[in-house]
Amino acid sequence: MLRRRIVRLGAAAMGMFLWSGAAWALQVGSDVSGEAELAQRQIPLPEGEWTVAGVGTNTLVSGDPGAFGTIENAVLVRTGSDGAIDAVIELNVNRLSVQGGWGVAAACTKTVSLSAVAFYKTKVDGFCLFVAPTDLGVPNAPGPDAWTEVRSILHADGATPSPTWLTVGYRVSDRGDVLDVRYHFDPKALGLEPVTGDAWTLESVLQTPDRYAALNQLNAWGGLAAGLVEDGFRGALDGRMTEAPLPNPWEVPAARVTAVDDKQDAAAPAAAAPIGQVSPSARIQALDALLAKGAISPEDHAAYMGAIRSENEKAPETATDYYSTLWAKVVSYNFFRVSVDYLLAFVVTVNSLISGYITAAIVATHSVVQVFNDMWWDSYILSTTKGETVDFVYIGAGKGADS
């Protein structure tokens, strides 16, 4: 029923695209599983059969990456056991390459999303993960042209979908190309009652255990899927997702932990565990399950296990740790240098007291200068890093930072 409705609604639009000569790897009404491809970029799909519900072009609402040509856009949907749509995927990719990179998405900041992780970010490329609420099920939810037809299906026959859905999104780009993929999940699939977007502020989530647990669940799933999304951006999935598709977010273990140890406490309040933190045992269990399904290779499994062990041994370095280490280096370096400075001063003055004063002044002055020189270079490098926000029209969102 859903497929026939999509084919009927999209036939006219697809006819115009085909007549104009646009070559789409995804066609309205077709079914895909495991992975999809749009403009040579591959997208891993959660398990199940996905229907291409809309294809079209998109526009920029912020930023200017240069002569980027056309932004290709596609919307995929999946139906649950009750016949209603339980997940939506939106894809945005560029058709022509640029030369100066694609900046960042507004949603890649924690000021816009509930959680965000920047895996890497340079002047011309980057990769981020974010989790955010999206007003996808409200009447007249805005979006690109490809979304308009899907929205009518979502509300067909007087249906009342959940007003706010939960989104796990990725922005991966290099100097020339970009992939912006957003996985939208009906909160009912995560065992949540439908609520409006006002209930999904960070403050509200931290005080509501079931929503907090759902956010942790999506963070855990997003971290496991991140490597596959990046592989797909580079066209390196090689069809392996067809045999072993992504699990659903609610199938990924995401037990809460109480503090720095590995003790799981299911009854612990939400505030006991930082958002996105998953116990090592739960992460290992999830990795073992992915290995058994063939979603990751034994080599990747071994690498991930090594990363988990190293994380347990030592916490990630922070900016404070960096400058503490820098001061330690300054002290050790001057310990070895002070004897040389003193000897040189003594050769010139032939006076131990004056030589001591000169040596102390040199050490103190050069130490401060060295620290401030490093800090200045850090600030300079940061200021030259491209931080421009480049966003498209998104489903259930307005423009730019409102997404």
Question: From the centroid of its chain, how far is CA 119?
Answer: 8
| Exposed / middle / buried, residue 344 (Cβ in 10 Å: 0-12, 13-18, 19+) | middle
pLDDT band at 16 (very low <50, low <70, confident <90, very high): very low
pLDDT at residue 231, as a whole number: 94
Structural domain spans, the chain:
2-278+389-402, 320-375
Neighbours of 251 (CB within 10 A): 13
- For residue 148, give both structure tokens: 């308009």
CA diameter of the chain: 99
For Cα atoms 276, 394, 97, give the angle at the middle one, nearest 5 degrees. Answer: 95
Q: At 328, is the secondary structure helix, strand, or coil?
A: helix
**Amino acid of residue 118:** A
Note the pLDDT tens digit of each residue in 292-338: 888 888 898 888 888 777 655 555 555 566 667 777 877 777 677 77
Note the pLDDT tens digit of each residue in 350-359: 888 898 888 8
Note the pLDDT tens digit of each residue in 279-289: 566 678 778 88
Note the pLDDT tens digit of each residue in 173-227: 999 999 999 999 999 999 999 998 889 998 899 889 999 989 999 999 999 899 9
Work out the average pLDDT over 222-234: 93
- Reply yes or no on whether the pLDDT at 17 is more than 50: no
How would you classify the pairing of strands 126-134 and 391-392? unpaired
The answer to whether 144 touches 73, Cβ cutoff 8 Å, is yes
Average pLDDT of the chain to the nearest whole number = 81
DSSP codes joined into one string, 173-185: E-SS-EEEEEEEE
- For residue 332, give both structure tokens: 């050790």
Report H helices in 81-198: 145-154
**C-alpha dihedral over 211, 142, 221, 226, to 10 degrees?**
-150
| Exposed / middle / buried, residue 332 (Cβ in 10 Å: 0-12, 13-18, 19+) | exposed
